[in-house]
Structure 1
């Protein structure tokens, strides 16, 4: 049974009275019903994290109310039942030296603890490359990486991760055969494939696999003479902490990334992640300082030379405004979030489904919390249709918050039409891969 945090209700009532607000006036400010707030103050109903953030902002409590309740849950819906796979099972073992072994098995021979019968096996030897061949192959792999990134905007990790893993293995094998002058370039490109695989693992909902692949990326990059990816890996770890509601780890990891990074871009991304950590606990001043620092750094960042793929998001046209809007919403200022996010959704190309869903989920959540229900629902249906295709655990967490926000208007006909669409988006999750053996 859920424990009702009575202390929150008493503190909310005390601060409301000190601010000279009636129950109805506060309810109007935060777009909740007077009856709902009355139950919160009397300890009859548990407050949501979103309500606490809105009250913090309205009463200038600087996050004190949010600290009285537990961090928001980011639960993942259970995977739906599916029919058994009747196709031929196969496996591809990829070794560090570039060798690979492919085996296909007879599905009729499996079961009962007996090893299945092998139908076909195929051993792939590592490539034998002449001088200069490795360097001439790299532009093709670089184009493949860019295509995989675009593919990741259209489809889920179950499609993209397998391709990235195979490409990482192929490049890792090529590095053993490459001339010293080209080996570093091969390893650095392999590290980018591995890092993107880690991102796909996080999107699939497997934090353990995400951390494992990110560490592989750091090692490959370091072997290729690139230590900057280690700093970016801290930003990725901070993001994982952010989605679990761990504000302390988010801020600490982001600060470590900023101290370790050499490039202005990575320091700017670290500052933005730090701002999100501060917003999570309602520290408005620290959040704004970090946002200003991030905006200054990213504005002054030198355009990448194109040698290595850019780390971080490349599909949001204005990442600074997006992060600021995210922070304002988490600080309990959804109206500021709506202003910052504005018409940015239209600037994202239609083929960038993942970016549009991420941006749209945050915009719809802010719109719902300022009472713009019709517009929030229109964007929510778009987000739900995208999530069903791209299978994103991180966006699904925002979708869950959006669904809860819209449920405050259960009799609104538009909300009643939209909620089933959100339910479909929330229940299309398929479990991601576990940590590799």
Structure 2
């Protein structure tokens, strides 16, 4: 299995900035670092992705103090686990519990990595890793198959999320269908519900309220985890808000809060991002859709809180844009511009074309 890396979308701009800050031409830097002029040019234009070694060499040559090197992160398993996965890639019928542990740990690491550098940077590695998982499922039988298929459904759901965030809804939909198939095979009702809910999210992105409401309602009926049911209920509320059905919004949001507060001993691993603040932002978003802008500002601002150290995760971007839009509606244009700038910085830091487009769209409506 290859040793993939995830590259911060800011890498090429930061490389150019550091080089120019020191008054160096591309040729000058090539003389200092054992990296060719053409390679540096390709790195700065995005035609080539850096390796960890290249990033470290350039970091040292430019005296960046580790800043440049830190922008290229491992997107694969640690060496021992990588050897095990390399082996089962060639011998797929030799899957054992340790292999499944390695894949579980790798998926958890990829989820954390996506939060810090965005979906686009890890989409390639995750696609390759999902390919391995799918090949193992095709060959698996016996007692380990249910656990492997369960894990595969989580990989497919995560890949679908990355594809949706990267502006590839058709590809995302196919991954959600695959997640649904695998989850159905092993009776993992909460993943079945999540896949339905995620397809509802695709309908939300396309502003199609009917499927948003219908798929979210189906997910709410299917799920056993209160957290998964809460996720579906709040999305169902937003679907009603999108359709202009104001009377259904608050009851569903209140129900989602009740579910989120309930004991959830079997809370699925993939709800790592979901909590009270997330639900507060959902309420704010629903209020914005029905024109309750003052309440939307209150809820969105409370849910977002202060900017975390290291910056916002990519998925927060749309909420920043919605907050800026509602701030404009209540006459707080200065604060709206500041929030919109935060969203613009997030888009640049994570390489999110979707957030960048939303920022530009709102900026054009001055």
Q: Same fold (TM over 0.5)?
A: yes
Query: CA 1:244/1:86 → structure 2, altered by over 3 Å: closer, same or farther?
Result: closer
Pick from 101, 125, 135 the counterpart of residue 90 of structure 2: 125
Deviation at 1:392, TM superposition (A): 3.3
What SS class does the counterpart of residue 310 from structure 1 fall into? helix
Pick from 225, 228, 231 the counterpart of residue 193 of structure 2: 231
Is 2:359 the partner of 1:380?
no
* Larger Rg over CA atoms: 1
Aligned twin of 2:287: 328
CA distance in 2, matches of 1:401, 1:354: 18
CA distance in 2, matches of 1:171, 1:316: 29
Contact 1:247 1:277 in 2 (8 A): yes
Aligned twin of 1:188: 150
**Uncovered stretches (5+) of structure 1, i.e. residues with no partner:** 1-81, 88-123, 408-437
Number of equivalent positions = 283
Aligned twin of 1:268: 230
CA distance in 1, matches of 2:308, 2:333: 25
Runs of 4+ in structure 1 off by over 6 angstroms are: none
Within-5 A mapping of 1:295-334: 295-304=257-266, 309-311=269-271, 314=273, 318-334=277-293
Q: Which of the pair is proportionally richer in helix?
A: 2
Is 2:211 the partner of 1:249?
yes
Within-5 A mapping of 1:32-431: 125-127=90-92, 129=94, 134-175=96-137, 180-304=142-266, 309-311=269-271, 314=273, 318-347=277-306, 349-351=308-310, 352-392=312-352, 394-396=354-356, 398-405=358-365, 407=366
Deviation at 1:267, TM superposition (A): 1.9
Deviation at 1:322, TM superposition (A): 0.7
Work out which structure has the larger RCO, using CA pairs closer than 8 Å and 6 or more positions apart in sequence: 1
Q: Write the deviation string for residues 83-140 of structure 1: whole angstroms up to 9, x where unpaired.
A: 79589xxxxxxxxxxxxxxxxxxxxxxxxxxxxxxxxxxxx623453xxx72123333
**Uncovered stretches (5+) of structure 2, i.e. residues with no partner:** 1-43, 50-88
The normalised TM-score by structure 1 is 0.58
User: RMSD between aligned alpha carbons?
Assistant: 2.8
Query: CA 1:185/1:195 → structure 2, altered by over 3 Å: closer, same or farther?
Result: same
Q: Write the deviation string for residues 348-391 of structure 1: whole angstroms up to 9, x where unpaired.
A: 63344214424322222221221111211112112111112323
CA distance in 2, matches of 1:126, 1:143: 21
Query: CA 1:350/1:304 → structure 2, altered by over 3 Å: closer, same or farther?
Result: farther
What SS class does the counterpart of residue 342 from structure 1 fall into? helix
